[in-house]
């Protein structure tokens, strides 16, 4: 691979025969800030999912001999305990497991639903498109928190209820994006060729419309993960999300905010994990946008 120089600028020349996805990944890997952010995010996820397995006790187990223990990196409780003797680091890692799971799985579910819905609407067009997109408009018009409270009442204040609440709202924008992509692709030559070759409409959607929409969807998905984690933390902070004994970064921040004057660790530690994760996701989203979005090249 060589770089041509024109007008004092280095122009990236993609090797002939390199697939669009591999070319986009190569551009992303050259973005040092985005690449380092991805590594840090992977380390945070590894700590949250694997770290609790290393502790000889659970998140609700109390050490009555170390109530509100201070930070001691060489003790059994390196970041101390809360007012009930529960290990603070373990609770933050376990809370991160819930927040990250809801964030990534929720974003994935919202994207899958939205892409299938939007691609179907945009490809078929006509009356079906009109009905499907007017449904999206109606859902957009319902106040978000009213919808969340309603779903919480129906499903219950559990992790499942929180997950459903988020997905029900956040699949709408991917649907609109996928619909726009499908409208622009449905009359392209390769779609006409597939139709002339005997492929069914659903095969065309699955094998041509959806794959050719992935570049834009990948960029938006990275932003959606960030939005889901923020939404989960905010709802848990308000008491509409994860309920005890389960925990998340949002619920831990809520508990820590009430004790900020007596024990700031209870707020600062989960807050630091949340802020680091959000910064990483923001830089990753910027890198993916520059690498995958054709309008940014």
Question: Which H, E and C letters describe the chain, residue by residue?
Answer: CCEEEECCEEEECCCCCCCHHHHHHHHHHCCHHHHHHHHHHHHHHHHHHHHHHHCCCCCCCCCCCCCCCCCCCCCCCCCCECCCCCEHHHHHHHHHHHHHHHHHHHHHHHHHHHHHHHHHHHHHCHHHHHHHHHHHHHHHHCCHHHHHHHHHHHHCCCHHHHHHHHHHHHCHHHHHHHHHHHHHHCCCHHHHHHHHCCCCHHHHHHHHHCHHHHHHHHHHHHHHHHHHHHHHHHHHHCCCCCCCCCCCHHHHHHHHHCCCCCCCHHHHHHHHHHHHHHHHHHHHHHHHHHHHCHHHC
Q: Residue 236: inside a domain, yes or no? A: yes
pLDDT of res. 20 = 61
Q: Is 138 a domain residue?
A: yes
Residues forming a β-bridge with 6 = 9
Between 126-141 and 172-185, two packed helices, what is the crossing angle to 10 degrees? 160
Low pLDDT (below 70) residues in the chain: 1-21, 214-215, 293-297
What's phi and psi for 14, nearest 5 deg? -80, 130
The predicted structure's pLDDT at residue 11:
43
What does the pLDDT read at residue 38? 92
Q: What pLDDT is stored for residue 4 in this prediction?
A: 43
From the number of C-beta atoms within 10 Å of its C-beta (0-12, 13-18, 19+), residue 283 rates as: buried
Q: Give pLDDT, residue 288.
A: 81
Q: Which residue range is the domain that position 227 belongs to?
A: 20-51+90-296
How far apart, in whole angstroms, are the C-alpha atoms of residue 292 and residue 91? 37
> d(Cα 43, Cα 45) in Å, to the nearest integer?
5
**Within a domain: 3:** no
Nearest Cα to Cα of residue 103 among 249, 243, 254: 249
Residue 66 belongs to some domain of the structure = no
Answer whether residue 201 is part of any domain. Answer: yes
CA distances from 290 to 31, 46, 159 (A): 9, 27, 34
pLDDT value, residue 40: 95
For residue 67, being part of any structural domain is answered with no
**Residue 80, C-beta contacts closer than 8 angstroms, at least 6 positions apart:** 66, 68, 69, 70, 71, 72, 88, 265
* Domain annotation covers residue 210: yes
Quote the number of domains for the chain.
Answer: 1
Kindly report the CATH number assigned to the domain that includes residue 45.
Answer: 1.10.3720.10
In a domain, 8, yes or no: no
């Amino acid at each position: 691979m060589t770089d041509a120089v024109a007008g004092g600028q280095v122009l990236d020349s993609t090797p002939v025969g390199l697939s669009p996805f591999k070319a986009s990944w190569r551009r992303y890997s050259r973005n040092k800030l985005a690449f380092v952010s991805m590594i840090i995010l992977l380390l945070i996820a590894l700590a949250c999912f694997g770290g609790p397995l290393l502790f000889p006790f659970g998140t609700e187990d109390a050490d009555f001999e170390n109530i509100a223990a201070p930070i001691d990196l060489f003790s059994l409780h390196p970041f101390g305990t809360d007012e009930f003797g529960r290990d603070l680091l373990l609770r933050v890692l376990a809370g991160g497991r819930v927040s990250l799971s809801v964030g990534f799985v929720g974003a994935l579910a919202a994207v899958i639903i939205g892409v299938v819905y939007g691609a179907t609407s945009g490809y078929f067009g006509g009356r079906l498109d009109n009905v499907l997109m007017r449904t999206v408009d109606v859902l957009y018009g319902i106040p978000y928190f009213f919808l969340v409270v309603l779903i919480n009442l129906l499903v219950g204040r559990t992790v499942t209820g929180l997950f459903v609440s988020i997905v029900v709202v956040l699949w709408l924008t991917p649907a609109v994006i996928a619909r726009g992509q499908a409208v622009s692709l449905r009359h392209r030559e390769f779609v006409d060729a597939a139709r002339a070759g005997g492929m069914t409409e659903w095969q065309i959607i699955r094998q041509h419309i959806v794959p050719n929409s992935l570049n834009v969807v990948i960029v938006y998905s990275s932003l959606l993960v960030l939005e889901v984690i923020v939404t989960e933390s905010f709802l848990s902070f308000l008491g509409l999300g994860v309920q005890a004994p389960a925990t998340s970064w949002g619920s831990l921040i809520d508990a820590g905010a009430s004790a900020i004057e007596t024990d700031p660790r209870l707020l600062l530690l989960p807050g630091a994990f949340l802020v680091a994760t959000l910064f990483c996701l923001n830089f990753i989203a910027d890198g993916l946008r520059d690498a995958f979005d054709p309008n940014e090249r």
